[in-house]
Amino acid sequence: MSGGGLLVAGTTSDAGKSVVTAGICRWLVRQGVKVAPFKAQNMSLNSFVTREGAEIGRAQAMQAQACRVEPTALMNPVLLKPGGERSSQVVLMGRPVGEMSARGYHGGRQERLLGTVLDCLERLRGTYDAVICEGAGSPAEINLRRTDIVNMGIARNAGLPVLVVGDIDRGGVFASFFGTVALLSPEDQALVAGFLVNKFRGDVSLLEPGLDMLHGLTGRRTYGVLPFRHGLGIDEEDGLRVSLRGTVRESRVAAPVGEDVLRVAVCAVPLMSNFTDVDALAAEPGVVVRFVDRPEELADADLVVVPGTRGTVRALEWLRERGLADALRRRAAEGRPVLGICGGFQVLGEHIEDDVESRRGQVEGLGVLPVRVRFAREKTLTRPSGEALGEPVEGYEIHHGVAEVLGGEAFLDGCRVGQTWGTHWHGSLESDAFRRAFLREVARAAGRRFVPAPDTSFAALREEQLDRLGDLIEQHADTDALWRLIESGAPTGLPFIPPGAPA
């Protein structure tokens, strides 16, 4: 017998679907329910490698952590990794299967993947008591409904009840809720059970008359009003949409242990991927992380990070156009700390031979590390572990570039020359002892009296964050009604709201 299920949809992108899904998962697992997350199709530059070597969205990996289960490719069978405005790499069951334009994907390929997606969902439902599914964008994207496999397409085929999340902090949430339902076909509307308000500030009693009116207009109830809370975002999905200018990653606010803070500048390269790597730095008391796009913003930085990217050659050109390339070379020559991760490691090398990603052939790198990179058609997807700076360290690799290291001091799979470091390993800074050793090296080189906190546990902070999400659901949602939805499906007799989807 298949387990229960629920689809968490949203009125818009970034309405809070990922957070709500993780919160419901954590609430359920604390009730003793065996639960798994699922997202049929994800578009994200932030991805993760499972233990079996499959690439999935980081949000689904984080939701699996909320469920206290190991993430697998079944939880995110289709991942789209944008390579520009109009094309993406298609990752199917954790492995890349080619590049495709948006027109080509929505013109037929997506629809053909429905069987794979439904099979993955059914396998999860056969193993778990409940599967909490996350939609994408809005279910009312009427131009894409015919080929939809992630919102109402999967809800209809799998008989899932749908909970629509709206971000009230943006405004217009009542119109968004009503309009979302009213643009669906009668068959789709029959599965939309109700709404969940996200990011509410103020007195809920002032909102309740509107919720009553919404119930009267749609025949659908609101299952909860979640208050606005700082620092609750889990790993973002789409790096193309996130505005990074002046952004500081959300983290604990804590005074430094030593006398000085440590300033980290992250170059906001195009098609930035896995910028979640710096979350572990931002979690350290006294470490200030900001994203930058001008060379003068590197002047007071104690550490500059060049992060991963889905467009290594494009990022290299961007660094040169902005004057950041020269600033990075000067820093390296002066012995001021620079860390390149994955694509950021590749641009710091001598040259790149790329007939796969950009198809630009041989391109000169910044030349600050003795490394030559050749892009292979087969993608490296591994979960390495080892030792660096005398401490154990784990990470994960996601890259086409194969690095030939010609000198320097060994550092993870890359190298170090002076205070310039490079590695393909994502996630290495989440290893607490290694991160502290690395920050001590950076502080010495920068002349800062910064001392890493001796007890910061990144894994514990993640768990604390997930528990806070579970608390939000438990304290501010009607959990009895949510469980009835998951167990029994959408209520019968939900009214049709005209006009419905266009013919």
Candidate list 267, 342, 399, 424, residue with the active-site label: 342
As a whole number of angstroms, the distance between CA 390 and CA 407 comes to: 20
| Contact in structure between 132 and 6 (CB atoms under 8 Å) | yes
Reading across the β-sheet that carries 4-10, which strands appear in turn?
35-38, 130-134, 4-10, 162-167, 192-200, 221-227
HSE, side-chain direction, 13 A CA sphere, residue 375: 23
Closest CA to 49 of 359, 381, 355: 381
Tell me the Ramachandran region of residue 491: left when phi exceeds 0, alpha when psi lies from -120 to 50, beta otherwise: beta
Which residue is catalytic, options 399, 400, 424, 426?
Answer: 426
Q: How crowded is the C-beta side of 15, counted as CA atoms within 13 Å? A: 29
Which residues, other chains included, contact 384 with Cβ-Cβ below 8 Å and sequence gap of 6+? 394, 395, 396, 397, 412, 413, 425
Does 400 qualify as catalytic in the annotation? Answer: no
424 is a catalytic site residue: no
Q: What is the 3-state secondary structure (H, E, C) of 112-166?
A: HCHHHHHHHHHHHHHHCCEEEEECCCCCCCCCCHHHCCCCHHHHHHHCCCEEEEE
Q: Give the length of the chain.
A: 503
**Token output for 334:** 């002066």
Q: How far apart are the first and last CA of the chain?
A: 36
Catalytic residues: 342, 426
